Amino acid sequence: MHKGISETFYVDPISTQLISMRNLILFCIGISLFSFGCKSSEELSVSKSMKTAEAQLKYSLKENTDKSTFPRSVNPDGTVNSVPSKDWTSGFYPGSMWELYAYTKDKMWADSAAAWTAGLESVKMNTHTHDLGFVLYSSFGNGLKLTENPKYAQILLQGAQTLSNRFNPKVGSIRSWDFGPWEFPVIIDNMMNLELLFWATKYSGDSTFYDIAVRHADTGMKNHFRPDFSSYHVIDYDTLTGKAIGKQTHQGASDESSWARGQAWGLYGFTMVYRETGEKRFLEQAEKIADYYLNHPNMPEDMIPYWDFSVFNTPNQPRDASAAAIAASALIELSRYSSKGNIFFLAAEKMLKSLSSPEYLAKTKSNHGFILKHSTGNYPKGSEVDTPINYADYYYLEALNRYNLLNK
């Protein structure tokens, strides 16, 4: 049986390497925090943010009663964009309810989450997508952790088996899409689906799942990143040789630009892989991605990036709150493992403070019940531009829960 690192929180001594001016400021603050864990003098009000999130999701539940479709975003005409269970975002709506249950311990949220989660079971057999981890782990995975429902474990295990069938040993990766001009496309987002495979090895004792996940992560580390540790979105592989034959984007500004959410997926993914394996190379990769992300010259002062880092000086470009929420959650976890933990924690805290401000956090009974405003899905296609999106809400709540646990 493979085992990852300990789940016990710790703070390593701050490293003495050269750091940027921004990190120097955070470093100095971090030194003052060192004796007191990760608390800051101006703490984020998790309780206030969670209270708003509760009110919003209660409002959403009144608007959305058909449990066969899942609120994903808001259309340009102001209507809710609801999607079927096979959509890659379907698990985030019940996932947000599970996150609220984890915080509040209110059985109402467990009951609502379970009711909405039930409609996703068929996804465990969907062989046409790599997003089984996104759908199943955010819903059934959270449900299993919080309720220990044995049925959830069997659904997750079947999902992991289905996902494993998309792995190509010659390429060393799990295939992402079944559409488009590519021979064997792998997107950086796919790192997020590996958590389901790591869980499956721990549950079943079958190391095949673990080996696939590690191989995919190693292949991604080799091919997905530029020398500065920014990420390509899509890598196309030759299935006969296993070599990368194309490096492109599908949702970024250009093939060589830095799509903000892609950077966040990579940061979160490699942090999680380190947690599950304890292999130092994955920690180092996560740290370097974090350094790139946090020190990018086009990162706005409020730490909520534009949808692509290359459009900083281009007029009328939208932000992506979802990228910030994903990155904040990842940085809080990374702060547990890294010698620069205080730097990463304080950066995440700043992101969460911005997301919890009136600029991004929706007022109660507005925004169709979505929690956050100003996310961007696929700007080049004109899809979900400057709108609420359910995965922004989910990772925001996850980040708040992680922050709350470490900051007590």
- Cite the active site residues: 131, 189
3-state secondary structure of 173: strand
Backbone torsions φ then ψ of 321, nearest 5 degrees = -60, -30
Q: How far is Cα 154 from Cα 123, in angstroms, rounded to an integer? A: 13
Residue 2 CB partners (closer than 8 Å, separation 6+): 201, 202, 207, 210, 276, 277
Residue 266: CA count within 13 A, CB half-sphere: 34
**Cβ atoms of residues 112 and 59 within 8 Å:** no
Q: How far is Cα 196 from Cα 137, in angstroms, rounded to an integer? A: 6
Buried-state track 26-62, b at ≥16 Cβ within 10 A, e below 16: bbeebeebeeeebebeeebebeebbebbbbbbbbbbe
- 97: nearest Cα among 68, 64, 138: 138
